[in-house]
A = this chain, B = another copy of it.
């Protein structure tokens, strides 16, 4: 079945519409008929491209998690100071979450809709990402650059703070993307006790690319 190939246009269309619908209404509240209708197909035709409803969700979640980790690794370098790494991480994380809010929302909410084995694999990817920030925070604390009460708690606090951008950011809103990113970089740095006045604008923003 050639249709299983990612480049298949109908298959991509189905994935994109499923992503939007799952993000809007939640996995359980979206039917195969809803997905089919939104791309102009009969519900049965979806099964030429996917084995089941759950397999659509799995592919969306796995694609998001793999892309997130890969982009992060492309973006960050571990050969600079913890402060510079934190700035780069924050810029990347906020930019990515502004660009792909639906993926983020589905990943946050619908992990529980997965069967245990699939869920475990994705939780591992999520933990890998979180631990990559925790390593930066730990490095900064050890080097005396950062101040915090507990590294693990503070890491989760920063990730939650940054991820929250998906809830309110609108492209036609009051602030442009760079200003928003600048705000979050300042907040993240300061939260670890770094005065952010001087460093925040030194780093140019590269473009996040979704694979």
Q: Using a CB-CB cutoff of 8 Å, which residues 150-200 of chain A contact chain B?
A: 150, 152-154, 156-165, 167-168, 174-175, 179-180, 182-184, 186-188, 190-193, 195-197, 200
A113: which of B29, B112, B157, B186 is its contact (CB, 8 Å)?
B29
Does B28 contact A153, Cβ atoms closer than 8 Å? no
How far is B83's CA from A165's CA once the two chains are assembled, in angstroms? 24
Residue of B nearest to A109 (CB): B109
Would you call A118 an interface residue if the criterion is a C-beta within 8 Å of the partner chain's C-beta atoms?
no
Cβ-closest chain B residue relative to A193: B190
Point out the residues of chain B lying under 8 angstroms from A24, CB to CB.
Answer: 112
Q: Does A80 contact B (CB under 8 A)?
A: no
Report yes or no: A168 in contact with B156, Cβ–Cβ below 8 A. Answer: yes
- In the complex, the chain B residue whose C-beta lies closest to that of A130 is B168
Q: Do A186 and B29 have beta carbons less than 8 Å apart? A: no
A39 at the interface (CB under 8 A from B): no
State the Cβ distance, A164 to closest chain B Cβ, in Å.
3
Chain B residue numbers with a CB within 8 Å of A160 are 160-161, 163-164, 167
Q: Does A149 contact B (CB under 8 A)?
A: yes
**Judging by beta carbons under 8 Å apart, are A157 and B28 in contact?**
no
Q: Which of B162, B164, B168, B191 contacts A190 (CB 8 A)?
A: B191
Verify if A123 is at the interface (C-beta below 8 Å from B).
no
Contact B179 A150 (CB under 8 A): yes
Can you pick out 26 interface pairs between chain A and chain B where the beta carbons lie within 8 Å of each other? A26-B112, A28-B28, A28-B29, A147-B196, A148-B183, A148-B187, A149-B182, A149-B186, A149-B187, A150-B183, A153-B183, A154-B183, A157-B162, A157-B164, A157-B187, A158-B161, A159-B164, A160-B160, A160-B161, A161-B161, A161-B191, A187-B191, A190-B190, A190-B191, A190-B193, A193-B196
